[in-house]
Amino acid sequence: MAALWNTRNLTMADAPNPFQLPNITKFKIALCQLSITSDKNQNLDRASRSIRLSVEQGAKLLVLPEMWNCPYSSDYFAKYAEDFDNRDASPTLSMLSEAACCHGITIIGGSLPEWDHGRLYNTCCIFGPDGRLKAKHRKIHLFDIDIPGEISFKESDTFTAGDQPTIVDTEVGRIGIGICHDIRFPELAALYRKRGVDIICYPGAFNVSTGELLWELVQRARAVDNQLFVATCSPSRNSTGSYTTWGHSTLVGPSGEIIVTSGHEETTVIAQIDYSNIQLQRKSLPLDDQKREDIYKFIDAHELNP
């Protein structure tokens, strides 16, 4: 069973530049907006049930929320963290592996607190239909915020930042991974576009302050700028903990249109993805052909005239 934990993140050099339609071009995606409690076993049971119900409705790709096996709080992260190299100490990964294999689907496993050599990471694991761990993404951009009177939270006090983008080839296309605050940085999404990604999945837990202002905005921006699909999945707002999440798990299409979105309650939303819409959008509006890299490079290398 140890082979289930072998991972390989697709490097930037491995990924071809042009967009190519994958073997499966139409399929259903499920975004499981889970209610999180302080009972880890209950969280695992809820996720397992949501996965099963999603498969019954035809989902081939499933996304879970950020930090779904524990409340989103620095009081819980270390306590609920798992050592992914130790199968006996990783009940969450075991459940995800078994679910992916049992149902024959690709699972973007939200994110979990991961212990590795004494450091704590906010990590997303991707499982294929054979139950194998295909890749893992450690959150690159840590969320530090201080809005007087509203919210103060410093993720960097607890977690170590990841240092690699993650692209993984799956049965349902080439997927780029980001976690929550990673979505705020267009450079990461643009890099994924250049490397032939079909869809970027962002498990996230935006709070109610930034969520109302930015959650929909940044999803649509990442999608329309790069002419690809963007999927996000959040915990529900009634989850345990002092950090109040926004919810509103969403699928956005390559022209920036919202295909489906939830409210803030516990729910699973399912929608159809059709990758031919990527080709259609890029043919209608060929942004890559219209880019002026000659100007961008010149400006980057020289100071602008006042």
Q: Could you tell me which of 71, 269, 42, 91 has the C-alpha nearest to residue 99? A: 91
Query: pLDDT at position 300, please?
Result: 65
Q: What is the pLDDT of residue 301?
A: 67
Does residue 216 fall inside a structural domain? Answer: yes
Check 28, 60, 66, 134 and give the catalytic one.
66
21 is a domain residue: no
* 231 within 8 A of 254, measured Cβ to Cβ: no
Residue with tokens 């995606």: 29
How many angstroms separate the first and last alpha carbons of the chain?
63
Whether 139 is catalytic is yes
Other Cβ atoms less than 10 A from the Cβ of 124: the count is 29
Distance CA(175)–CA(186), nearest Å, equals 16
pLDDT given for residue 303 in this prediction: 62
Q: What angle do CA 131, 133, 139 make, to 5 degrees?
A: 140
The side-by-side arrangement of strands in the sheet containing 229-233 is: 166-170, 173-177, 199-203, 229-233, 250-252, 258-261
**pLDDT for the residue numbered 66:** 98
Write down the residue that tokens 């050592």 correspond to: 83
Catalytic residue among 70, 139, 155, 201: 139
Helix ranges (DSSP H) in 106-202:
186-194
Q: To which residue do tokens 């990527």 refer? A: 278
Q: Can you tell me the distance from the alpha carbon of 299 to that of 55, in angstroms, rounded to the nearest whole number?
A: 50
240 domain-assigned = yes
Torsional sign, CA 120, 124, 130, 131: positive
Task: Provide the pLDDT for residue 8.
Answer: 45
- Residue 1 included in any domain: no
Q: Is the residue at 301 inside a domain? A: no
- pLDDT of 250 reads 98
Residue 15 lies in a domain: no
Taken as a whole, the chain contains a residue count of 306
Question: What pLDDT score does 217 carry?
Answer: 98
DSSP helix/strand/coil, 197: coil
- DSSP-derived 3-state class of residue 217: helix
Is 115 domain-assigned? yes
pLDDT for res 153: 77
For every one of its 306 residues, what pLDDT tens digit does the chain have, with 9 covering 90 and above? 333 544 444 444 345 555 566 778 999 999 999 999 999 999 999 999 999 999 999 999 999 999 999 999 889 999 999 999 998 889 999 999 999 999 999 999 999 999 999 999 999 999 999 999 999 999 999 988 787 877 777 899 999 999 999 999 999 999 999 999 999 999 999 999 999 999 999 999 998 988 999 999 999 999 999 999 999 999 999 756 678 899 999 999 999 999 999 999 999 999 999 999 999 999 999 999 999 988 888 766 666 555
Q: The tokens of 161 are what?
A: 């930042």
User: CA 174 → CA 86, 122, 158, 229, distances in Å?
Assistant: 28, 22, 31, 11
Active site residue 180: yes
pLDDT for the residue 2: 38
Separation in Å, CA 278 to CA 172, 253, 282, 284 = 14, 8, 6, 10
Give catalytic status of residue 266 as yes or no: no
CB 227 within 8 A of CB 27: no
Bridge-based pairing of strands 112-116 and 82-83 is parallel
Residue type, 126: I
By residue range, what is the domain housing residue 244? 26-285
- Domain containing residue 124: CATH number: 3.60.110.10
Contact 34/47 with Cβ under 8 angstroms? Answer: yes
Q: Is position 181 within any domain?
A: yes
Report how many domains make up the chain.
1
| Nearest-angstrom CA–CA distance, 2 and 20 | 33
Rounded-to-integer distance, Cα 165 and Cα 11, Å: 8
Point out the catalytic residue in the list 124, 125, 180, 233. 180
